[in-house]
Amino acid sequence: MATLLTALACLWQGWKAGAAALVGGAAVLLGGWIAARIGLGGGITGAVPAMARLLAGMLAKWFVLVAVMVIGVVALGLPPLPMLVAAAVSLVAQVLAMARHP
């Protein structure tokens, strides 16, 4: 939802800015999904393998995030600022969602 609102706000600069915002939010979404698959997909093990999986998931998340954003700028020719703004807004929304008490 935060990505869509950011993309709508960026549309006043043109369709490329809106598309860049969608790519930035999608990068955060894809990176988070990959981090969850790696970090939480190992079953029940000891503390060291579990911590190693969480660290590997976090590293994979940031690698995917940066790679998708570089592809968006270099290969697709999208403006980087709306992409960065959407990624930051998505990450803040993710942190706020995790910090919310049920």
For the whole model, what pTM was predicted? Answer: 0.88
* pLDDT value at 101 more than 80: no
Residues 20 and 62: their CA atoms lie apart, in Å, by 18
Any idea where the domains of the chain sit in the sequence?
28-97
Give pLDDT tens digits for 32-83: 999 999 999 878 888 999 999 999 999 999 999 999 999 999 999 999 999 9
Whole-angstrom Cα distance, residue 38 to residue 42?
A: 7
Q: What is the mean pLDDT of residues 5-16?
A: 94
Is 92's pLDDT higher than 80?
yes
Looking at residue 43, its pLDDT comes to 81
Q: What residue has token string 């079953």? A: 43
Q: How many CB atoms lie within 10 A of CB 36?
A: 12
